Homo-oligomer: A and B are copies of this chain.
């Protein structure tokens, strides 16, 4: 079997996770190029994985024959064009979430990959994280009966980069942080979202003088699914206490909880006035380390065996649409049906 040669578009934090996984853990693939307009970052990444061609320009890189697939981890607003370009060059595409800024951009990406005959996979790594996989297996197997209520949350520490604060450049926190939740609830419930209602607040951002009409750092979203399941998604960023991602699914027969605030298999008790302390998950690369490895293995498998991607462009599009609907909801203070936004 020939190894799949991968060009990494983006040498930031997510790019590094994929780079290291491709270099160390994923059999059948290896990173051969790093493309980033920040040459120093690109070179540092190339060095860390034991060497790879460095490009500062995507056009040049795409026209080379150094890679068969790309992993796109640049800001959301670049995803559409890089994907279209890669597809035109016959290169398979692994694109980080959020897929793009609008459903119609997502559609363009899907069409381009179909036309180019290349695989398109979206980076919803939770679908590959062992406890999520096991949960899906149990729900689909009917263990908890029919899903009735699903609640998913993601909270992360640290300041998002500037473009992610700008709702017009990124769709804001619900896109940057909660895209995973929107995808996950659809996948776990096995039904599409019918309508959403969102409330948001600007708590820490306000103090920093950002535009309070366009920015939010807390959100709570109510979901109604096509099969009558109800749900909530909530997000907060920055949440100083760590990285927290949990899902709770109530079915007609029982309850299933994925994840735990207590993130590590160690417990320390120092003081009876404090209590028993268990370390939390600190970062998303640590929380979802296995998911990131397995999604990349799955992508390489799809390419080498010419089988459909495990997470498709349609999945990516639906998550983008749900975010758009949620933003419309809080801006217009009304529930928004998904049908309203699917072709925006």
Contacts and interface: CB of A to CB of B under 8 A. Distances in A.
Interface of A: 23-25, 27, 50, 130-131, 134-135, 138, 143-144, 146, 148-149, 151, 155, 157, 197-201, 203-204, 218-224, 228-232, 234, 236, 239-244, 250, 252-272, 274-280, 282, 333-335
Given A149-B218, A222-B222, A261-B269, A230 B201 contact: yes
A241 B256 contact: no
A203 B146 contact: yes
B232 A220 contact: yes
23 contacts: A131-B265, A134-B264, A134-B279, A146-B203, A149-B220, A149-B234, A199-B223, A199-B224, A201-B230, A218-B230, A220-B223, A220-B231, A222-B222, A232-B234, A236-B250, A240-B271, A256-B269, A257-B266, A257-B267, A260-B265, A263-B276, A272-B280, A276-B277
Contacts of A275: 242, 262-264, 277-280
Contacts of A263: 275-276
Contact of A222 (B130, B199, B228, B274): B199
A335 B130 CA distance: 38
A155 B272 CA distance: 12
A149 B229 CA distance: 23
Given A149-B218, A255-B268, 4 more contacts: A131-B266, A134-B264, A220-B230, A241-B271
B335 A230 contact: no
Nearest to A225: B201
Nearest to A134: B266
Nearest to A238: B252
A221 B149 CA distance: 12
Nearest to A221: B222
Nearest to A50: B27
A159 to B, nearest CB: 14
A144 B218 contact: no
Contacts of A280: 269, 272, 275-276
Most-contacted residue by chain B among A221, A267, A271, A280 (CB, 10 A) = A267
A23 B27 CA distance: 9
A213 to B, nearest CB: 14
A241 B273 CA distance: 8
Contacts of A252: 203-204, 240
Contacts of A239: 250, 255
Contacts of A236: 148-149, 250
By CB atoms of chain B within 10 A, which of A143, A260, A265 has the most? A265
B270 A144 contact: yes
Nearest to A207: B252
Nearest to A265: B131
Candidate in A200, A204, A242 with the most chain B CB atoms within 10 angstroms: A242
B260 A255 contact: no
